[in-house]
Amino acid sequence: MNLKGKTILITGGASGIGLEAARQFLAIGAKVIITGRNQAKLDAAKKAHPALVAIRSDVGNEADAKALFNTVKELGGIDILYNNAAVLVAPSNLGIASDKHAEGAAYEMEVNYIGVIRLINLFLDMLKSRNETAIINTTSILSQAPSLIEATYSSSKTALAFYTTSLREHLKIIGSKVKIVELIPPLVATEMTAERKDKKISPEDMVKGLIKGLSKEQHVIRVGDAKLFNLVNRFLPKTAFKILNPQKDHQLLKK
């Protein structure tokens, strides 16, 4: 897929992977719209990259989603919807059988899963009416094997992975040419994962992998260690589970 000249909407685009994607997409020659909840971060991103269009919007809020759609429509529409925004509730707030556990799970599901569906529902007709369009949904290796300390986050990403596969097949059946891409990253060095001491990939390399996959018309793009993990999980699922859940993490569950 040729990104030059495309208009791309990136949710969660004010920092981390989203901002790096915006930077690399702009360098290719794409037009980029970013959204996020933090106005200060959006302003900083706009200052660093004046070509960006920055719109404050919370993907977990229905009214914000509708307002975002209307604004984007007024701007001329988009060719690619990149659902990058996600939240991860700290493991310390996810003790089993607690109110915080349920609240955290609901929050993650609202942003990571339902919010994505809401945006797709709003933008799908727009994308179907244009040439060479795509929806990119960011899942995780945790959608293939769960993390014990991030159980509800894993569940939200699994839900999104299943939905992404179903949406792709549904659109094929009705003859739509909108490409449905699942992006499966490994652990990426962002604010969300700052406390994790495990091996991480940089946002720069993460986005390079995404762009490479898009250029090859891949429907499922695995970047970095996500490629090897997929093989391990297929043939040695118990080993894959242990990789994601080392003994040091077990201690967190006992606290």
Residue found by looking up tokens 């040695």 in the block: 236
Nearest to 178 by CA among 137, 236, 234, 230: 137
* Catalytic annotation, pick one of 41, 153, 163, 200: 153
Residue ranges with strand state E in 52-178 = 53-56, 80-83, 134-138
179 three-class SS: strand
Residue 181 and residue 137: Cα distance in Å, rounded? 6
Helix axes 115-128, 62-74, angle to 10 degrees: 20
Rounded CA-CA distance 192/108 in Å is 13
Catalytic residue among 31, 157, 179, 200: 157
Q: Please count the other Cβ atoms lying within 10 Å of the Cβ belonging to residue 38.
A: 13
Has 254 been annotated as catalytic? no
**Spatial CB neighbours of 223, under 8 Å, sequence gap ≥ 6:** 183, 184, 185, 186, 201, 205, 206, 209, 210, 213
Q: Is 157 a catalytic residue?
A: yes
Residues with catalytic function: 153, 157
